[in-house]
Structure 1
Amino acid sequence: MTLLPKDNINPVQLNEAEGNQLFPVFIKLNNLHTVLIGAGKVGLEKLTTVLNNSPFAKVTVIAKEILPEVHQLAAEYGKVIIINKTFDEYDLDGADIVIAATNDNDLNTYIRQAARDRKLLINIADKPELCDFYLGSVVKKGDLKIAISTNGKSPTVAKRIKEYLNKEIPDEIDITLQQMNELRNSLNGDFASKVQQLNEATAVLTERKAPAPNKLYLRWLIWLTSVSCITIALLSLWFKEPAFQLYLRELDPVFYYFLVAGFIFSMIDGAIGMSYGVTSTTFSLSMGIPPASASMAVHLSEVMSNGIAGWMHYRMGNVNWKLFKLLLIPGIIGAVTGAYLLSSLEHYSQYSKPFVSLYTLILGGVILSKAFNNKPKKSADKIKKIGLLGLGGGFIDAVGGGGWGSIVLSSLIAGGRNPRFSLGTVKLSRFFIALMSSLTFVTMLKNAHWDAVAGLIIGSALASPIAARISNKISTKVIMVSVGIIVILISLKSIVTFITKVI
């Protein structure tokens, strides 16, 4: 709650003053008597605001017409009294704070004069110039409370700032406050000594710790392994033909198809933050590429992009290392197992392809549903079995050619984990998942479709620097709807074709 100066300052001076001249204070309404005149929608809003901040406040509501919701609040809060009558100036006798929430200007003027005669502070709804104080937007996290004021200029802006702070300030901040209070109560000595001890105890909050020794080599590990994967792909192309230059001149047109496709799919992924794996796999299957080769192409092309993204998240401090360790080993085991199984079935690709198409069909439906469902989900209890989630995510990702982000990241966020740390952790772990599954595919596959693989790798690499810049200039919903429909149609075509051949 914020108070305005009263009659001892010239109103002209206030009008000429620049900026917000309000003096913020927090009032103990539980110890005061508040009189609220009006019990319509505005009165209900004012009463709700008061009780949300001070549940034990003594409030007397005076009005001729009273909403049922006001009676419900009075029943829930024992110190709320409702008087069904026309307001009289003597109703303010014994009051400490006055709030007028009527739509009658003459009545509001009468109430304000009655309050001034008794030297009471008054708030009049939607009349900033007549108010002694405002009921500002309040952010509350346990014992932490932040009041927001726009000097009465725009309650909507104050509301939006409140929503932002509510989202960004974690609920766990209250635990920090309780621990600081316990620390404060345990200190001994005079005031100066206590301040010094608190400064020493809280200094760690502002210190920048150097990265742990084992993490200093993370950047080089990412770069070296990325180069190694690309080298493996190039060597595979080299040994496929005796003369590499001749091979380049006689390059299969499939390479160019996948070059363009990799560029487009990477741009889509940069715009909507998902779907690279499912679009690439769906396209590969439609071009006659077996599931194992399609998945290998996707994972090889993702090694460098996820390595760079993971490194950036690491530099920005967005990695939860405990969560990373819980995901990494099970994720690698699942990815290697899935890659080994899919590679072993390469000779039976005509039978495994429909199952992968069914998987991409489901992911296409997920993309389409997300395009029309933008409502934030309520946080549930945090997922406990992180290892099992990583194992399943890694396996399905390798078998289906994508899905690590869709499965693992979505599950972590839906389970109540911080989106920023979840994204950074999943991106970094994805680098190792893609690396290990790619190495498994390269080792297992004898007749990989390297033309398609090379095209997809180079195409996605060319698009990566551009995708981030245009991501905010494209309609995300339009892209998601288009991608979802295309993936569903192509997957259905593949499934129908298989069924037709069998029949």
Structure 2
Amino acid sequence: MTLLPRNNSLTETPPVKSKGNQLFPVFLKLDGLHTVLVGGGKVGLEKLTAMLNNSTGAAITVISKTFLPQIEALAAGTPKLTLIEKAFADTDLDGADIVIAATNDAELNKYICQSAHDRKLLINVADKPDLCDFYLGSIVQKGDLKIGISTNGKSPTVAKRLKEVLTEAIPDEIDTTLQQMSQIRENLGGDFTHKVKELNRVTAILVGAKTPPSNNNLKLLIWGLSVAFFAVVIGLLWAREPRFQSFVENVDPLFYYFLGAGFVFAMIDGAIGMSYGVTSTTFSLSMGIPPASASMGVHLSEIMSNGIAGWMHYRMGNVNWKLFWLLLFPGIIGAATGAYLVSSLEHYAVYTKPVVSLYTLILGFVILNKAINISKKRTTAKIKRIQLLGLGGGFIDAVGGGGWGSIVLSTLIAGGRHPRFSLGTVKLSRFFIALVSSATFILMLNGKHWEAVSGLVIGSALASPIAARISNKISAKAIMFAVAVIVIAISIRSIFKFLVH
């Protein structure tokens, strides 16, 4: 709600008009004021709904000869909303703080305006800017964040369109940020200068400043787990796997193919938030790697790449922590179960390979569909069963060597969640899920195809820091089309080869 300077009389000489919007924005606590609304028709309902949507505890008296059923329904469920069925009299404004005239009688509206000014009350007259002391602007609200939009009475339609744009652009998670900032503000000690500096540091991420977060626990956890995991794995393999020793001493040229492939696939994944698993698995199968070994290579390489990417997204403030915890533990359970199952069937690779190829074919069409619909407005309600999504996504990802991004990220975005926060959250949770999947594969499988595995690991790790930084700067549609076509073509080729043999 925006106030205008009040004239004491309608007959006064109008002030000289200044260029630009001279309105002074304020936010009123309507629950502590008495608002009188005159008019019980469609316009009155619109004004009443706007006030109650923004101030559910507003004390409002509506005066009209008749009332729409919707207004009567609102009064039945709103204790501080009073309806008085009568013709307007100027004494109805006694005790009022704010007045709104919303009748279809122009002369009556002028009379209400004059009565309000006689009492030095602020008034809004529907569709009559010249009679208004304040306007009811369009409102964008995300939790405790509220933004008022004014076009100085020139175009309510433009204000409405701007409201739609801002509602779409501002993530719902901004309210979480506000609550956390409130807690930080309450707990800050020191003098005023220190408090200002600390709040500036914390909020720097909102304007893109590259201020490192004060809490490095996540960074230490990611790097500590990664280094410890690979140290244990390499030590065990060196002691127990002659094939691994042979690979280290005599690097197979195939390693360089997978090194380049891992780098390219990680860059694609960083740009569109998905497809590393499905592209890597499709490539590995086309190079003759069995499904379980292909999935092991994908998940081992994703430990480092997703750890780095997850950390980068954390630094950029792209992680929704509530969503992260809802996805993490079900995803870990699903991933461990899927890895155990596909490892148990490694001896039947000739039969499981076409099944996995069929799965990658389906994912190719999923990516293609997402590319086609990437610019369409999301209207689906947010998905509620996040744990079930994490469980299914983790299981399918381990069985098929990929799909966490294609399934989980696509579902979250299609369900209305903000793409940037969904991408950061999925990337960080992927690190822990890849860790569990890899451990399960290593325990179940004998060491094989280290040239493929190590190539993917190193290539994707090299690409991850670059990929995370370009994730918000690349138009993803063309890349998604290309990935979808390649995955579909290679998957069909693999299935065809199985059928003809």
- TM above 0.5: yes
The 8 Å contact of residues 223 and 307 in structure 2, kept in 1 or not, is answered as no
Partner of 2:159: 155
The 8 Å contact of residues 378 and 416 in structure 2, kept in 1 or not, is answered as no
Measured in 2, the distance between the counterparts of 1:172 and 1:315 equals: 14
How big is each residue's C-alpha offset from its partner over 1:279-309, in whole Å with a ceiling of 9 and x where there is no partner?
2212322333321232122112211111123
Spell out the pairing of 1:448-487 with structure 2 (5 A cutoff). Answer: 448-487=448-487
How big is each residue's C-alpha offset from its partner over 1:348-372, in whole Å with a ceiling of 9 and x where there is no partner?
2110012212222332333334442
- The residue type paired with residue 449 of structure 2 is H
**2:286 pairs with 1:286:** yes
Alpha-carbon spacing, 1:19–1:230, altered in 2? closer, same or farther (3 Å): farther
Measured in 2, the distance between the counterparts of 1:105 and 1:259 equals: 77
Alpha-carbon spacing, 1:237–1:429, altered in 2? closer, same or farther (3 Å): farther
Indicate the SS of the match to 1:364.
helix
Partner of 2:300: 300
Q: State the 1:134 CA deviation.
A: 1.5
**2:92 pairs with 1:94:** yes
- The residue type paired with residue 304 of structure 1 is M
Measured in 1, the distance between the counterparts of 2:361 and 2:473 equals: 28
Of 22, 32, 37, which aligns to 1:34?
37
The 8 Å contact of residues 382 and 415 in structure 1, kept in 2 or not, is answered as no
Spell out the pairing of 1:368-407 with structure 2 (5 A cutoff). Answer: 368-371=368-371, 372=373, 374-379=377-382, 381=384, 383=386, 386=387, 392-407=392-407
**2:365 pairs with 1:362:** no
What TM-score does the superposition give when structure 1 sets the normalisation length? 0.68
- The residue type paired with residue 94 of structure 1 is D
Alpha-carbon spacing, 1:101–1:483, altered in 2? closer, same or farther (3 Å): farther
Q: State the 1:433 CA deviation.
A: 2.8
Partner of 1:192: none
How big is each residue's C-alpha offset from its partner over 1:410-456, in whole Å with a ceiling of 9 and x where there is no partner?
67889999988876665444323323433444565557333433443
What TM-score does the superposition give when structure 2 sets the normalisation length? 0.68
Indicate the SS of the match to 2:24.
coil
**2:28 pairs with 1:25:** yes
- The residue type paired with residue 278 of structure 2 is V
Alpha-carbon spacing, 1:499–1:241, altered in 2? closer, same or farther (3 Å): closer
How big is each residue's C-alpha offset from its partner over 1:35-87, in whole Å with a ceiling of 9 and x where there is no partner?
249x56x6654343245346873334689xx9xxx55445554656799xxxx
Q: State the 1:133 CA deviation.
A: 1.0
Partner of 1:167: 172
The 8 Å contact of residues 35 and 62 in structure 1, kept in 2 or not, is answered as no
- The residue type paired with residue 98 of structure 1 is I
- The residue type paired with residue 456 of structure 1 is L
Gaps of 5+ in 1: 181-198
Partner of 1:132: 133
Q: State the 1:332 CA deviation.
A: 4.7
Measured in 1, the distance between the counterparts of 2:393 and 2:164 equals: 39
- The residue type paired with residue 172 of structure 2 is K
Partner of 1:188: none
Q: State the 1:12 CA deviation.
A: 4.9
Indicate the SS of the match to 1:94.
helix
Indicate the SS of the match to 1:167.
coil
Q: State the 1:223 CA deviation.
A: 4.7
- The residue type paired with residue 135 of structure 2 is Y
Alpha-carbon spacing, 1:445–1:370, altered in 2? closer, same or farther (3 Å): same
Partner of 1:221: 224
How big is each residue's C-alpha offset from its partner over 1:458-495, in whole Å with a ceiling of 9 and x where there is no partner?
43334333334443443333433443344344334433
Q: State the 1:277 CA deviation.
A: 0.8
Spell out the pairing of 1:402-421 with structure 2 (5 A cutoff). Answer: 402-407=402-407
Gaps of 5+ in 2: 77-81, 190-194, 203-212
Measured in 2, the distance between the counterparts of 1:76 and 1:286 equals: 65
Alignment: residue pair count: 455
Partner of 1:239: 245
Could you tell which deviates more after superposition, 128-137 or 16-25? 16-25
Partner of 1:191: none
Alpha-carbon spacing, 1:324–1:75, altered in 2? closer, same or farther (3 Å): closer
How big is each residue's C-alpha offset from its partner over 1:90-118, in whole Å with a ceiling of 9 and x where there is no partner?
7766355233587x999987876676567
Could you tell which deviates more after superposition, 364-373 or 300-309? 364-373
Q: State the 1:500 CA deviation.
A: 3.8
Measured in 2, the distance between the counterparts of 1:158 and 1:262 equals: 43
The 8 Å contact of residues 301 and 457 in structure 2, kept in 1 or not, is answered as yes
Alpha-carbon spacing, 1:312–1:76, altered in 2? closer, same or farther (3 Å): same
Partner of 1:195: none
The 8 Å contact of residues 303 and 431 in structure 1, kept in 2 or not, is answered as yes
Spell out the pairing of 1:235-384 with structure 2 (5 A cutoff). Answer: 239-240=245-246, 244=250, 247=251, 251-252=253-254, 255-256=256-257, 258-312=258-312, 318=319, 320=321, 324=325, 327-328=328-329, 331-332=331-332, 334-371=334-371, 372=373, 374-379=377-382, 381=384, 383=386
Q: How well do the aligned residues superpose, as a CA RMSD in angstroms?
A: 5.2
Indicate the SS of the match to 1:57.
strand
